[in-house]
Amino acid sequence: MSNEGGSKICVPVLGESAEQMLVQMDKAKVLGADLVEIRLDYLQSFEPRRDLELLIGRCPLPTVITYRPKWEGGKYEGDDDKRLGALRLAMELGADYVDVEFKVASELINSISQRKPEKCKVIVSSHNFDNTPSSDDIGNLATRMQAVGADIVKIVTTALDITDVLRIFQLTRNSQVPMIGLAMNERGFISRLLCPKFGGYLTYACLEKGQSSALWQPKIDDLLNIFNFRLLGPNSKVAGLIGNPVGHSKAATMFNPIFKTVGFDGVYVPFLVDDVPNFLKSFNSPNFVGWSCTIPHKEEALRSCDELDPIAKSIGAVNTIIRKPDGKFIGYNTDYFGAISAIENKLRDLQNLPDGTGSPLAGKLFVVMGAGGTGKALSYGAKAKGARVVIANRTYSRAKEIADSVGGEALTLAELANYHPEEGTVLANTTSVGMQPNDNESPIPKHSLKRYGLVFDAVYTPKMTRLLRDAEESGVTIVTGVDMLIIQAYEQYERFTNLPAPKELFWEVMSGY
Ligand code: NAP
């Protein structure tokens, strides 16, 4: 069912007292919520008439009254008669919605049949904390929920794999009644972000981290200001990052403000993916334009694409997958260009070289730490620019494999600590060492850094990694992973949107990092 008014944002208020809830409601209104869900089961002491009059009367937004029992994931442990009595009272006192569990919904609905206030809508809800059933089973459940007299059907499942979310999207998009469909946990996170695209009646958002009624509920601020919730609709295109983990990524905070500024009807979201081939098979529809690809999927992505750009093929890793209009997937590698350009730009600045002259990497010694997808891209790129390449990796055999393919030398990371580079050597980290939450780690001891001419780190969370701090303190020029992130994203942006990359805007948006 298309959601004509657009999907709503509902903020649950979870105070232990009515006074705390009043404060939270006001905050929800200021932050831009459409609805407030009053979770009566969170109140330490609850006096139905007094508290409901106060909470419904003083709420600056339409109210959803929920009194969730323990047997459906809430906190209320008393008997159901009292609970349903409170919901009936909430209707009388002017609640805009009441949320009642499917198991007891007919009891509530039958008991109010003639007396239901016209403005009050009954949300009949079902929570599955184990999995996401088949489309047929969810469809049957929705039909049964509708048959008990639901004004709005709410089905919340648990995503064990990101492909489970597609069944939720199918449900909300095709429903004949207003439908709330969400999939819990990190693998279901996109169901909370993309609900306007797939016709969901509402999504829930918390005021602050730690104030959510479910894990992986987004903050309202992120929903509105990172994920462009209000701008999304059925025709919006979806791009994103596939990886595991994906929580550290800054890509959404880079792409989404740019989409908004240039008026591109699309959104970029994180996809926590376990199995790349299965993901691509399932997410193959024109709704999804393409993906950036990160740890640990860059090599699997290479094997999973139908076609490969020649550079990605030579590197042996894919960091960008684009869905072509014929449904085939083509893999590119933009890491190579991003990292090498960021390093070249810095060397050109240092040496006052104008653009358009040959690469300042030609003839230089270039040491790459790490032999994963990014290590391959940098080794390939440095070699293509005429540098002599050394690859150092924890697992020697992987370093050797790349060294053999680019005609370079292989070392272990331990050997690199005592390596004597020649003057002006570039050192590039492509291991994940130093990435949050392990910010205090570095792949190489500080005392080994002072002989290098430039140190680059592909890790960009944090921007100033331990390695870069050590290098700077040793008087060595540095280039950050944020520079790489921005430059490698130009081509991704162009392929996602079919628009020229607004390069200055990229730097402006990322200037705060
Ligand atoms: P990957 O394919 O999984 O490779 C990871 C590499 O890190 C391997 O060489 C691995 O060594 C090494 N490694 C992991 N843990 C280690 C440890 N504890 N000690 C020593 N070595 C360790 O990952 P990737 O996709 O290439 O990404 C690598 C890093 O680059 C990530 O932090 C990613 O965020 C960053 N990155 C940044 C950008 C950007 O735009 N700035 C772009 C791409 C990637 P083994 O072979 O021994 O396992």
Residue 387 has pLDDT above 60, yes or no: yes
DSSP labels for 174-207? H-SS-EEEEEESGGGHHHHHSTTTTT-SEEE-BS
First to last CA, the chain: 40
Task: State residue 287's pLDDT score.
Answer: 97
Coil, strand or helix at 457 = strand
Residue 343 has pLDDT above 60, yes or no: yes
Cα-to-centroid distance, 413 and ligand 1 (Å): 13
> Which residue out of 8, 116, 154, 383 is catalytically annotated?
154
Percentage of the chain exceeding pLDDT 70: 99
Cα-to-centroid distance, 24 and ligand 1 (Å): 42
Distances (CA, A) of 13 to 35, 92, 204, 213, 265: 10, 21, 11, 9, 32
> Which residue out of 127, 219, 346, 376 is catalytically annotated?
127
The residue with tokens 């905050």 is: 27
Residue 294 has pLDDT above 50, yes or no: yes
Q: What is the pLDDT of residues 207-218, one digit of tens each?
A: 998 888 888 999
CA 480, CA 54: separation in Å to the nearest integer? 54
CA 372, CA 428: separation in Å to the nearest integer? 13
Q: What is the DSSP letter of 359?
A: P
Res. 4 pLDDT band, cuts 50 70 90? low
In sequence order, the 6+-apart residues with CB closer than 8 A to the CB of 486 are 254, 338, 506, 507, 510
Residue 3 has pLDDT above 80, yes or no: no
Residue 432 has pLDDT above 50, yes or no: yes
Percentage of the chain exceeding pLDDT 90: 93
CA atoms within 13 A on the CB side of 424: 12
Res. 362 pLDDT band, cuts 50 70 90? very high
> Which ligand 1 atom sits closest to the C-alpha of 319?
43
Decide which of 87 and 5 is more confident: 87
Is 298 labeled as catalytic in the residue annotation? yes
Res. 2 pLDDT band, cuts 50 70 90? very low
In total, the chain counts a number of residues equal to 513
Coil, strand or helix at 7 = coil
Backbone angles phi, psi at 415, to 5 degrees: -65, -35
Burial per residue of 380-419, b for 16 or more beta-carbon CB atoms within 10 angstroms, e otherwise? bbbbbbebbbbbbbeebebbbbbbebbebbbbebeebeeb
> Which residue out of 8, 116, 297, 298 is catalytically annotated?
298
Is 154 labeled as catalytic in the residue annotation? yes
Query: Is any ligand 1 atom within 6 A of the Cβ of residue 22?
Result: no
The token duo for 398 is 């992987």
Checking phi first, is residue 444 left (phi over 0); if not, alpha (psi -120 to 50) or beta?
Answer: beta
Q: What is the pLDDT of residues 12-54, one digit of tens each?
A: 999 999 999 999 999 999 999 999 999 999 999 999 999 999 9
Q: Could you give the maximum distance between any two Cα atoms of the chain, in Å?
A: 88
The residue with tokens 């083509």 is: 330
Task: State residue 79's pLDDT score.
Answer: 93
Containing 35, the helix (H) or strand (E) segment is strand 35-39
Q: What is the pLDDT of residues 52-105, one digit of tens each?
A: 999 999 999 999 999 999 999 999 999 999 999 999 999 999 999 999 999 999
Q: Are 218 and 205 in contact (CB under 8 A)?
A: yes
Is 335 labeled as catalytic in the residue annotation? yes
DSSP labels for 44-80? SS--HHHHHHHHHHH-SS-EEEE--BGGGTSSB-S-H
Residue 116 has pLDDT above 90, yes or no: no
Q: Are 381 and 333 in contact (CB under 8 A)?
A: no
Q: Are strands 409-412 and 388-393 parallel, antiparallel or unpaired?
A: parallel
Q: What is the pLDDT of residues 462-477, one digit of tens each?
A: 999 999 999 999 999 9
> Which ligand 1 atom sits closest to the C-alpha of 413?
20
Task: State residue 5's pLDDT score.
Answer: 66
Task: State residue 60's pLDDT score.
Answer: 98
Strand partners, 367: 390, 427
> Which ligand 1 atom sits closest to the C-alpha of 243?
25
Q: What is the pLDDT of residues 118-142, one digit of tens each?
A: 899 999 999 999 999 999 999 999 9
Q: Are 18 and 54 in contact (CB under 8 A)?
A: yes
Q: What is the mean pLDDT of the chain?
A: 96
DSSP labels for 412-429? EHHHHTT--PPTT-EEEE
